[in-house]
């Protein structure tokens, strides 16, 4: 996720901005830039790559301005490049803007501004903002009023830092759905997207709330609500050390990322679903309607956790669309001489977009003439560049090696794709699409309800943290979730764990069950619920310890299970999105009690870029 830092005061802004950007590097980014107020115009420096490259770029210059903005960009609209890096300016270069978030209606706004002779230099959605402000200043007398009029035209999410050469020493801040804080100092003040950027300089902060704007000067801060009324804000004193601050107070990045999933899912869904009309909007999918209607088969290829997401996708596509679908591990797909046809759709799933085996499989499919689609979290990645279309998951960078929010946003992308194809092909009636969309939009809040029970899940984890073997079982859509739960436990706790289709227990795994074997059973409501209960009874009859993931209020499973991890009721098709959350938390807390290196488990890397 992008990073923002801003400063106005009596010191040189440059070293403060560069230092702040370096503190935000953990968030992940692909370009960086700064804008500093000069005697007559802004000094603007941007580059593709790391903050160190930006630092090198400006190190030989004398840049003494005392007000400035800095930004690290994680590409969404437009490839990583100097032109697409922030800050962005208006036509005259008198307004500069840094932005975190997504402007959903930027295409329409850009078209209107172009009609008014505005000149654009980048591919980004952000660049429309300084041009909008420039346009509003034709009628408004000051920057704040122009900003408030401009953001009223914007649909989407934003954390904004804005400066104008006509109001030197002033930074305007605005927030909607994306974090932004104000740091308070003596004759100096700051803005930042996250506390680490400014913790060296101040521990007193104000948290901006949605739809608030602020005027920040060296000796004053004024905050306003959406109606323009002054708001009296609480000043919070930060007592974290810098290392803790980077994790926003969470003990590990993995835990932080588990708790970020409601936000990540909302961001991935934003602007894509319209239940009122039964409409799904996938802007960059790259597939024409005639082609979609002729798809005969779908291949989904991925590795690790992404492969488990693909397995859920296979169930969805075959059940809801009636299209044959194969899911393959990328490293195996390349060597099995798959039979492919030009009417087939080839989909890869990759968090980084740089996984070597997945890219090799993609290139093989392209040589065979197939249309290709990527589900990816990095817009400028090889996967995004080399496929015909892309569904971008707005998870933000994952720092913990064990994937959590990347997985659930990949699932969301697969639901969006299934609905999109189903509506075009007539396989999903409008009423059914509306029913599913409505339920999907409830998922973030339902995940929040599960996260509120994390302490209870931690108690369960403590009971079993010294066990040496676990068995995870699930059926149908939740068989891949059993595999994913077992993988999470293996990755971060180093406990041997296996995921199985529950119906396979009598074909071997049941021989392993005894009084020391915990069996994690995914037993939420659905068409195979009763069969899963029978599998649980078989395990219990052999003295197995049952840990069940079940719907809140399920009295049947509570009779058989030693522990129940409760999740809300949702549509059976959507149950994987909820059922995986307690499994992530169970793995995390077991690893915590075993004192494992949770964020960087041994022998593992975040992205496998070599075969």
3-state secondary structure 242-303: HHHHHCCCCCCHHHHHHHCHHHHHHHHHCCCEECCCCEECCCCCCCCHHHHHHCCCEEEEEC
> Which contiguous run of DSSP H or E holds residue 403?
none
* Rounded Cα distance, 427 and 433, in Å: 10
**pTM score, whole prediction:** 0.75
C-alpha distances in Å from residue 322, one per residue of 161, 244, 325, 391, 584? 49, 49, 9, 22, 31
Name which of 202, 205, 196 is nearest 253 in CA terms. Answer: 196
Tell me the CB-side half-sphere exposure of residue 260, using CA atoms within 13 A: 28
What is the token pair recorded at 187?
């004759």
DSSP state of 177: B
Catalytic residue among 176, 314, 490, 606: 606
Give me the mean pLDDT over the 455-469 stretch. 96
Tell me the CB-side half-sphere exposure of residue 112, using CA atoms within 13 A: 12
**The CATH number of domain 453-593, selected from 3.40.50.10490, 3.40.50.300, 2.60.120.10, 3.40.50.12780:** 3.40.50.10490
Burial of residue 459 (number of CB atoms within 10 Å: 0-12, 13-18, 19+): exposed
Q: Name the CATH architecture for the domain at 255-450.
A: 3-Layer(aba) Sandwich (3.40)
Please indicate whether residue 606 is annotated as part of the active site: yes
Strand order in the sheet with 325-329: 325-329, 298-302, 345-350, 371-376, 389-392
Count Cβ neighbours within 10 Å for each residue of 78-103 and write b for 16 or more, e otherwise. Answer: bebbeebbbbbbbbeebbbbbbbbbb
Would you kindly state where each structural domain of the chain is located, as residue ranges? 3-246, 255-450, 453-593
Catalytic residue among 2, 303, 325, 376: 2
Name which of 315, 402, 312, 320 is nearest 349 in CA terms. Answer: 312
Phi, psi of 160 (to 5 degrees): -125, 140
What pLDDT does 27 receive?
Answer: 63
- Grade residue 1 by pLDDT with cuts at 50, 70 and 90: low
* Rounded Cα distance, 191 and 283, in Å: 32
Q: Which of 245-249, 316-320, 564-568 has the lowest mean pLDDT?
A: 245-249
Q: What is the pLDDT of residues 411-437, one digit of tens each?
A: 999 999 999 999 999 999 999 999 999
What pLDDT does 26 receive?
Answer: 64
Give me the mean pLDDT over the 7-30 stretch. 88
Is the Cβ–Cβ distance between 27 and 11 less than 8 Å? Answer: no
Q: What is the pLDDT of residues 328-354, one digit of tens each?
A: 999 999 888 899 999 999 999 998 888
Assess whether pLDDT exceeds 70 at residue 610.
Answer: no
Phi, psi of 244 (to 5 degrees): -65, -35
Is the Cβ–Cβ distance between 388 and 371 less than 8 Å? Answer: yes
Q: Which of 333-337, 408-412, 504-508 has the lowest mean pLDDT?
A: 504-508
Residue with tokens 């996967």: 383
Please name the residue ranges forming H helices in 24-82: 51-59
> How long a stretch of residues is the chain?
611
Assess whether pLDDT exceeds 60 at residue 262.
Answer: yes
Which regions of 305-385 does DSSP assign to beta strands (E)? Answer: 325-329, 345-350, 371-376
Q: What is the pLDDT of residues 291-334, one digit of tens each?
A: 999 999 999 999 999 999 999 999 999 999 999 999 999 999 98
Give me the mean pLDDT over the 236-249 stretch. 74
* Rounded Cα distance, 61 and 52, in Å: 15
Q: Which CATH superfamily is domain 3-246 in?
A: Aminohydrolase, N-terminal nucleophile (Ntn) domain (3.60.20.10)
Is the fold of 3-246 the same as that of 453-593?
no
Q: Which of 254-263, 304-313, 449-458, 504-513 has the lowest mean pLDDT?
A: 504-513
- Output the DSSP codes for 554-568: -HHHHHH-SEEEEE-
């Amino acid at each position: 996720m992008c990073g923002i830092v801003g400063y106005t005061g009596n010191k040189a802004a440059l070293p403060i901005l560069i230092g702040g950007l370096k503190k935000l590097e953990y968030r992940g980014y692909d370009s960086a830039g700064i804008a500093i107020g000069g005697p007559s115009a802004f000094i603007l420096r941007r580059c593709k790559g790391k903050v160190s490259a930006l630092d090198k770029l400006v190190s030989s210059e004398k840049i003494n301005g005392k007000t400035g903005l800095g930004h690290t960009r994680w590409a969404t609209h437009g490839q990583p490049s100097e032109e697409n890096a922030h800050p962005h300016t208006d036509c005259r270069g008198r307004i500069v803007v840094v932005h975190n978030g997504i402007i959903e209606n930027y295409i329409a706004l850009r078209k209107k501004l172009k009609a008014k002779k505005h000149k654009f230099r980048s591919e980004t959605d952000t660049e429309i903002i300084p041009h909008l402000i420039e346009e509003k200043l034709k009628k408004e007398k000051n920057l704040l009023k122009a900003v408030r009029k401009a953001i009223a035209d914007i649909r989407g999410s934003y954390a904004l830092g804005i400066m104008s050469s006509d109001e030197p020493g002033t930074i305007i801040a605005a927030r909607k759905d994306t974090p932004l804080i104000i740091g308070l100092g003596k004759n100096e003040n700051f803005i930042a997207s996250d506390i680490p950027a400014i913790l060296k300089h101040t521990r007193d902060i104000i948290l901006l709330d949605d739809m608030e704007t602020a005027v920040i000067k060296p000796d004053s801060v004024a905050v306003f609500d959406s109606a323009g009324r002054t708001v009296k804000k609480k000043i919070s004193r930060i007592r974290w050390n810098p290392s803790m601050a980077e994790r926003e107070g969470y003990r590990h990045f993995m835990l932080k990322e588990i708790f970020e999933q409601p936000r990540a899912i909302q961001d991935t869904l934003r602007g894509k679903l319209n239940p009122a009309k039964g409409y799904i909007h996938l802007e960059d999918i790259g597939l024409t309607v005639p082609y979609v209607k002729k798809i005969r088969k779908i291949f989904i290829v991925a590795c690790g956790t992404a492969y488990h997401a693909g397995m859920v996708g296979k169930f969805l596509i075959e059940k809801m669309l009636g299209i044959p679908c194969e899911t393959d591990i990328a490293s195996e797909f390349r060597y099995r001489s798959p039979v492919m046809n030009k009417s087939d759709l080839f989909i890869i799933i990759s968090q980084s977009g740089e996984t070597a085996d997945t890219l090799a499989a993609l290139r093989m499919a392209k040589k065979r003439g197939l249309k290709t689609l990527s589900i990816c979290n990095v817009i400028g990645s090889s996967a995004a560049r080399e496929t015909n279309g892309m569904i971008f998951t707005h998870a933000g960078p994952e720092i913990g090696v064990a994937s959590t929010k990347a997985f659930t946003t990949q699932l969301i992308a697969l639901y969006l794709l299934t609905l999109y194809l189903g509506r075009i092909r007539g396989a999903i009636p409008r009423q059914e699409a509306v029913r599913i969309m409505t339920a999907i939009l409830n998922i973030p809040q339902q995940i929040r309800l599960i996260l509120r029970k994390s302490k209870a899940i931690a108690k369960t984890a403590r009971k079993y943290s010294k066990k040496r073997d676990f068995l995870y079982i699930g059926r149908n859509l939740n068989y891949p979730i059993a595999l994913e739960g077992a993988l999470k436990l293996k990755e971060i706790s180093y406990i041997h764990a296996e995921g199985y289709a529950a119906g396979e227990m009598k074909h071997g795994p049941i021989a392993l069950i005894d009084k020391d074997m915990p069996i994690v059973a995914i037993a939420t409501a659905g068409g195979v619920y009763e069969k899963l209960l029978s599998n649980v009874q078989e395990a219990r009859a052999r003295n197995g310890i049952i840990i069940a993931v079940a719907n809140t209020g399920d009295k049947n499973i509570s009779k058989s299970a030693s522990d129940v991890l409760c999740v809300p009721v949702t549509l059976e098709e959507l149950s994987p999105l909820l059922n995986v959350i307690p499994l992530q938390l169970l793995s995390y807390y077991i690893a915590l009690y075993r004192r494992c290196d949770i964020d960087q488990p041994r022998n593992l890397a975040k992205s496998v870029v070599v075969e």
